[in-house]
Chains A and B, each alone.
Chain A
Amino acid sequence: MARGPAYSRVLFDEPGPRGRARIRLYTVLGLAVLAALVGLALWQFARNGQLGRSRWLPFVQLSYLRFLGQGLVGTLVATAIAAVLSFPLGVLLALGRLSRARVLRWVSTAYIELFRGVPLLLLIYAFLLALPRFGINLPLLWKLVVPIVLVNTAVLAEIFRAGVNAVDRGQSEAAAALGLRDGQAMRLVVLPQAVRLVIPSLVTQLVALLKDSTLGYVVSYPELMKQGNNLTVYTHLLVQTYLIVALIYVVANIALSRLATYLERRLGTRVRRRATGPEEPDTGAPGRPEPVAAAPQTMT
Chain B
Amino acid sequence: MDVVFDNIGYLLGGLLTTLELTVLGFAGALVLGTALAVCRVSPVPPLRVAGAVYVEVLRNMPLLSLLVLFVFGLPDVGLTFPLFASAAICMALFAAAFVCEAVRGGINAVPVGQAEAARALGFTFTQSLRHVILPPALRTMVQPLVNIFIGVALGSSLAAAVGVSELTNRTQVLNLQSAEAVVLFLVSGAIYLAIALLGGTAGGVLERRLSGRAR
Contact = CB atoms under 8 A, between A and B. Distances in A.
Interface stretch (B81-89, B144-152, B204-212): B144-152
Contacts of A6: 48
A299 B76 contact: no
A7 B65 CA distance: 32
B188 A299 contact: no
Contacts of A242: 65, 68-69, 72-73
B8 interface: no
Nearest to B41: A8
Contact of B98 (A120, A130, A299): A299
B108 A217 contact: no
A100 interface: no
Contacts of B193: 113-114, 117-118
Interface residues of A, number: 68
A217 B50 CA distance: 31
B181 A133 contact: yes
Nearest to B200: A117
Which of A19, A246, A254: most chain B Cβ within 10 A?
Answer: A246
Nearest to A129: B175
A156 to B, nearest CB: 16
A279 interface: no
B154 interface: yes
A245 B172 contact: no
Nearest to A37: B50
The range of chain B's interface size is 35 or more
Contacts of B152: 299
A238 B80 CA distance: 13
Contact of A249 (B48, B65, B161, B175): B65
B42 A7 contact: yes
B74 to A, nearest CB: 7
Contacts of B147: 296
A272 to B, nearest CB: 21
Contact of B57 (A120, A229, A250): A250
Contact of A48 (B44, B59, B72, B76): B76
A297 interface: yes
A299 B95 contact: yes
Contacts of B101: 296
Interface string B111-134: 010011001000001000100010
Contacts of A105: none
Contacts of A138: none
B95 A10 contact: no
Contact of A246 (B56, B69, B79, B172): B69
Contacts of A5: 43
Contact of B155 (A123, A125, A130, A300): A300
A24 B57 CA distance: 27
B165 interface: no
A273 interface: no
A42 B160 CA distance: 30
Contacts of B61: 246, 249-250, 253
Contact of A10 (B50, B73, B115, B161): B115
Given A118-B192, A119-B168, A245-B65, A7 B60 contact: no
B182 A130 contact: yes
Interface in A98-141: 113-114, 116-123, 125-126, 129-130, 133-134
13 contacts: A9-B115, A26-B44, A118-B154, A121-B158, A122-B189, A125-B160, A214-B64, A214-B65, A215-B64, A241-B73, A242-B69, A249-B60, A299-B154
Interface of A: 1-2, 5-13, 15, 19, 23, 26-27, 30-31, 34, 44-45, 47-48, 50, 113-114, 116-123, 125-126, 129-130, 133-134, 207, 210-212, 214-215, 217-218, 225, 229, 232, 238-239, 241-243, 245-246, 249-250, 253-254, 257, 296-300
Interface of B: 41-48, 50, 56-57, 59-66, 68-69, 72-79, 94-95, 98, 101, 104, 107-108, 110, 112, 115-116, 119, 125, 129, 133, 144, 147-148, 150-152, 154-155, 157-158, 160-161, 168, 171-172, 175-176, 179, 181-182, 184-185, 188-189, 192-193, 195-197
Give the top 4 A-B pairs by smallest Cβ distance, nearest first.
Answer: A299-B151, A117-B196, A253-B60, A119-B157
